[in-house]
């Protein structure tokens, strides 16, 4: 399927990958609409790619060795043990991951988008109107533009998804991720090659190093727990939202800091509590599934299509795999109908499988935590295996294998 005018709504990781897919598939004219300005690269949160998924995506041309990353080899789960500085390890796992900064990975993908693709920063799409021969986008500045196909890469609050499936919104999982980054990386155990999970009743916190995109490194952490249900402690999280740096109220901040002080081994408590307030924020955790990844001349990629809770470690992987699958469908199809139907058939089941697995992990790791203090490695191994039982054998921690049979 060659030619055609394509709009990609959203210009972050998923959007850049989708634009790359459309270009490789043979689209004639591609326009990316990104509502934010050029400061997307300043997003410093950490993401990780399983080494096997990286190899698959590297072979497909969506990631490359020159993208700044930090190697991780093992994950250590620890519980507070009196005043023992690092606590007590209850379980260890192989952890063959590559850690990235979101901003630096986005920058590298953005750089790979062909020059002939029009990338518009600060372009807000307010309406999506399908018709018989394409889709019209309405912009906040009053302009309208018509395209043969529109790809929604605009995240879990997608305007494209709303046009496809009105009222299909992300659902609040009942807990949050408190995230932070700091330059406090000196003296990390095992020279920083381990990821560390600090566990406590009602949640856990994962800490690992990431590149800062400037030749140095940062400590990235995310703490999952349910905030107390008290008036004024947090806004209504049942609707898709986020609380960026500077918008955390003092009561919620005090609650989270007290949780860390009371439940973390001293070494790790200090690392979290020393994180500058301006680099911490709240990420409410959501689930999202759609009936289909396509409708008419519209398609969804990344979080616009499905959102799996972060415990699976595969969100960015899925976004890049969505783009790769869209490219493959594009190359093989002889009409827009064939391209989009093939893409939907291939990616819909993958999204559902990942959401289901991430829900089980969220239940075990946050909503219904075990008695961590009673665990050693054998008990930990059984607990971990229970979360993965019943999974599609291609889907597991780190995402979905696109090469497995």
pLDDT digits (tens, 9 = 90+) for 366-375: 999 999 999 9
**Residue 300 buriedness (CB in 10 A; 0-12 / 13-18 / 19+):** buried
The residue ranges of the chain whose pLDDT is under 50 are 405
What is the enclosing helix (H) or strand (E) of 196? strand 194-200
Burial category of 14 from C-beta neighbours within 10 Å (exposed 0-12, middle 13-18, buried 19 and up):
buried
pLDDT score recorded for residue 191:
82
Helices (H), 7-152: 13-25, 51-60, 102-112
Question: Which pLDDT does position 235 carry in this prediction?
Answer: 57
Give the pLDDT confidence score for residue 248 in this predicted structure.
62
The pLDDT value given to residue 405 = 42
Predicted confidence at residue 238, as pLDDT, reads 63
What pLDDT, on a 0 to 100 scale, did the predictor assign at position 37? 78
* Domains of the chain, CATH where assigned: 5-42+104-170+288-368+390-400 (3.50.50.60), 70-101+171-286 (3.30.9.60)
- Measure CA of the first residue to CA of the last residue in the chain; give whole Å: 27
Backbone Cα Rg of the chain: 21
Residues 6+ apart with CB under 8 A from 212: 44, 101, 104, 183, 218
Euclidean distance between CA atoms 137 and 129, whole angstroms: 6
Distance CA 20, CA 15 (A): 9
- For 205-261, the pLDDT digits (tens) are 999 999 987 888 999 999 999 988 765 555 566 665 566 655 566 788 889 999 999
Q: Quick one: how far is CA 321 from the chain centroid?
A: 13
What does the buried/exposed string (b/e) look like for 190-219 if buried means 16 or more CB atoms within 10 Å of the residue's CB?
Answer: eebbbbbbbbbeebbbbbbbbbbbeeebbb
pTM for the full model? 0.92
């Amino acid at each position: 399927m060659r030619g055609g005018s394509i709009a990609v709504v959203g210009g972050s990781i998923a959007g850049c990958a989708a634009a790359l897919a459309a270009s490789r598939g043979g689209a004639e004219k591609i326009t990316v609409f990104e509502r934010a300005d050029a400061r997307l690269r300043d997003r410093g949160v950490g993401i990780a790619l399983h080494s096997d998924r990286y190899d698959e995506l590297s072979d497909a041309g969506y990631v490359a060795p020159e993208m700044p990353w930090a190697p991780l080899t093992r994950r250590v789960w620890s519980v507070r043990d009196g005043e023992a500085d690092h606590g007590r390890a209850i379980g260890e796992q192989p952890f063959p991951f590559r850690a990235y900064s979101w901003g630096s990975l986005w920058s590298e993908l953005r750089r790979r988008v062909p020059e002939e693709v029009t990338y518009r920063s600060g372009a807000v799409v307010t309406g999506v109107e399908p018709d018989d021969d394409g889709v019209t986008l309405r912009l906040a500045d009053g302009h309208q533009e018509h395209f043969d196909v529109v790809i929604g890469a605009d995240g879990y609050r997608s305007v494209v998804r709303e046009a496809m499936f009105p009222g299909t919104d992300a659902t609040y999982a009942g807990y949050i991720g408190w995230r932070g980054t700091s330059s406090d990386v000196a003296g990390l155990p095992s020279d920083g090659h381990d990821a560390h999970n600090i566990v406590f009743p009602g949640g856990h916190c994962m800490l690992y190093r990431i590149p800062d995109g400037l030749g140095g490194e940062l400590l990235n952490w995310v703490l999952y727990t349910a905030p107390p249900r008290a008036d004024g402690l947090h806004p209504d999280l049942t609707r898709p939202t986020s609380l960026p740096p500077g918008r955390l109220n003092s009561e919620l901040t005090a609650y989270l800091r007290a949780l860390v002080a009371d439940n973390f081994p001293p070494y790790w408590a200090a690392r979290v509590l020393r994180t500058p307030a301006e680099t911490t924020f709240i990420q409410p955790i959501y689930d999202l599934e759609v009936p289909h990844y396509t409708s008419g001349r519209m398609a969804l990629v990344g979080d616009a299509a499905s959102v799996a809770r972060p415990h699976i470690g595969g969100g960015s992987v899925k976004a890049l795999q969505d783009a790769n699958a869209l490219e493959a469908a594009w190359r093989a199809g002889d009409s827009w109908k064939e391209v989009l139907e093939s893409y939907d058939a291939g990616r819909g089941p993958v999204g559902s499988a990942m959401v289901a697995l991430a829900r089980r992990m969220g239940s075990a790791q946050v909503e219904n935590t075990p008695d961590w203090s009673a665990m050693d490695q054998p008990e930990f191994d059984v607990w971990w295996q229970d979360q993965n039982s019943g999974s599609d054998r291609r889907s597991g921690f780190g995402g979905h294998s696109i090469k497995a049979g």
